[in-house]
Amino acid sequence: MAAMTIAGLARAGDVGVETVRYYQRRGLLAQPDRPLRGVRRYDSNDVRRLQFIRSAQSAGFSLEQIAELLALDSSLDRQR
């Protein structure tokens, strides 16, 4: 999957751009650095993370609980 803009990420996750920004402010999604052109780019890992957040919300998890799950997943990745 090619790199995409925030609008592309939002479409892939079936959310609005403001939802992506909200998740970034909450620390659920990373905010990539701006390259020289100033357009942030997102990849398939960001899409998977966004889809996980949406699925977890649908299953009844709060954003706080989702943040804990994502932190656990990140710590397991570091241990591997």
66 has pLDDT over 80: yes
Q: 63 is in which domain, residue-wise?
A: 6-79
Q: How many domains does the chain have?
A: 1
Separation CA 63–CA 66 (nearest Å): 5
Say which CATH number the domain at 32 has: 1.10.1660.10
42 has pLDDT over 90: yes
Q: Is residue 50 part of a domain?
A: yes
pTM value is 0.84
Q: Is residue 13 part of a domain?
A: yes
Q: Is residue 1 part of a domain?
A: no
Separation CA 3–CA 75 (nearest Å): 25
Separation CA 42–CA 38 (nearest Å): 13
Q: What percent of the chain has pLDDT over 90?
A: 72
Residue 33: band (very low, low, confident or very high) from pLDDT cuts 50, 70, 90: confident
Separation CA 16–CA 67 (nearest Å): 20
Task: Please give the pLDDT value at position 80.
Answer: 46
Enumerate residues 6+ apart whose C-beta is below 8 A from 6.
Answer: 17, 20, 21, 40, 42
Q: Is residue 43 part of a domain?
A: yes
